[in-house]
Amino acid sequence: MSTAAHDNGAAGGQVPGRGAAGREITAVGHADLSPRTLALVESAFLERLERLERHVGPGPVTVRCGAGAPLAFGRAAGAAGRRLIVVVPTHDGVPAMPPPRDRTAAGELLNLADQARLLPYEPDHRDSCVGADERMIAAGGLLLAAWDGSPSDGLDATAHLVAYARARGIPVEIVWPAGAERGTGKTVPAPSAVLPARGTTGPPGARRS
């Protein structure tokens, strides 16, 4: 596994190679997936990756180090034989310890990773994590989002990230299989499977606040 320091610059900057074959695929989504949903989302991610390989080629995939959707995507990337890049938080240039809830998943993701990408952000600070996700999204050509359609809140910013990508013309595909549920045990109907690339208006509550 290689290690590289990386900063994609301002979140509102130009997206390099947007939509081009071989560009990075970024995945974000809810962290509070039930164990059953984790397996469902992993299977759905794998299906998407296999389909995308037929249409746009085997580009690398990127996730931020953490539990839930990132872990499901990392496992799917491994099963698909995709090159996996895991974004690792740093503080003063030194890798930072993930919060307790993410440590087991972080260990597995780093074992699966072909490259660890070092990025300065605070893993315990929501807005800092959102900023890291925005930089990942801005560098990629496609966003896969494990999203149940709910608005952002004080803990989860998946809706905001979907709206962020759409506002920048980055294609978004929603991955929320039938029967999926959050850690609360509440089953939520799946939103539209594919969101259009263009448009500045996100779903209700997609603001970061």
How is the chain split into domains, by residue range? 20-195
- Whole-number mean pLDDT of the chain? 82
Closest to 131 in 3D by CA, of 31, 28, 5: 28
What tens digit of pLDDT does each residue of 156-209 get?
999 999 999 999 999 999 999 999 999 854 444 444 444 334 333 333 333 333
Closest to 171 in 3D by CA, of 33, 24, 53: 24
Average pLDDT over residues 19-43: 87
CA distance 24 to 176: 21
- Contacts of 156 by beta carbon, 8 Å cutoff, 6+ apart: 30, 31, 32, 150
Give the pTM: 0.78
The CATH architecture to which 20-195 belongs is 3-Layer(aba) Sandwich (3.40)
pLDDT score of 201? 35
